Amino acid sequence: MTKILTVTFNPALDLATSAACVEPNRKLRCAPETAEAGGGGVNVARAVTQLGGKAQALVALGGPNGAALGGILDAMQLDWCRVEAPGDTRHSFSVTDESRGDQYRFVLTGPVWTSEQLDAVLNQIAETTAEDTLIVFSGSMPPGAQVGFLSEAAARLLPRRVIIDTSGPHLESAAKGEAPAPFILRMDSHEARELSGLPLESKKDSADFAETLRQRGAAECVVIARGADGSVMAAPDGLWHVNAANDNVVSAIGAGDSFVGGMVMGLANGERPEQALRMGAAAASAAVLSKGTQLCLPADYARMLPVTHLTQL
């Protein structure tokens, strides 16, 4: 089985609590908080592991928050390794208003990295991983990472296959296809509409835009998630659609990370990209059946995979 390494430069110690009613300009008495490990790469590695695969998470940690987050990763029995962050690991903080069910989420920025510090981590990855390793960059990039960093990372780590699932300026830069392309670039429909300036109302519209990005050199395969309408992919052998296998959504938290986990696990097992796409979609369908941050549970994934269908457009 091909090895999988996920990279999380900007993890968070996620704190969550609730209050009877969230109102401004007054002290809010909160329920006891819970603490969890946050970060796209961490969640992708968790998803692969929960589904019976093997993945290692490389996580940048610093200070007391980093020590606490590392303890949570150990308690999960996740295969992970630490690199030193240039400052204290950030918090993210959410408060649920019990009277209305609304959730207020506060995400802090995290420590600032220099180009030299980021390059050192890339050099470490290149020196310690086999050339056929699948490397996943998932989640937000840290402050200090220059736009274009992920394209540089994909070039630096060749011939390793790089999967990118990010947002904001870093996604916009990757979509321009101005540097050696990653193996897979993934985004959601909202991000695709912003990049294209088009409504992308149908799955064929999204698939055609994914092909435009692929032809531009953004990635060998471009995936666009369409929520309840499934996902599409432009690949060298054509355009593909996979359905979302269930209509019941308990929680959408972690669906995207579960998708990436399922897809990269398929690739690691030697599946073609379109079949790996189907596995990713089944993992996402399983994730939305789980409460909170449980991601994709194996029993749900086993039920979703047979009813997840692949169609060539």
How many helices (H) and strands (E) the chain has is answered by 10, 14
Q: Under a CB-based contact definition with an 8 Å cutoff, are residues 264 and 221 in contact?
A: no
Alpha-carbon dihedral sign for residues 20, 24, 30, 36: positive
Total residue length of the chain:
313
Query: How far is residue 212's CA from residue 175's CA, in Å, rounded to a whole number?
Result: 10
User: Which residues make beta-bridge pairs with 57?
Assistant: 6, 80
CA distances to 7, 73, 136, 225 from 183, in Å: 16, 28, 10, 17
Q: Which candidate, 177, 132, 180, 134, places its Cα nearest to that of 155?
A: 180
Name the active-site residue from 165, 188, 205, 257. 257
Query: How far is residue 138's CA from residue 157's CA, in Å, rounded to a whole number?
Result: 16
257 is catalytic: yes
Catalogue the active-site residues. 257
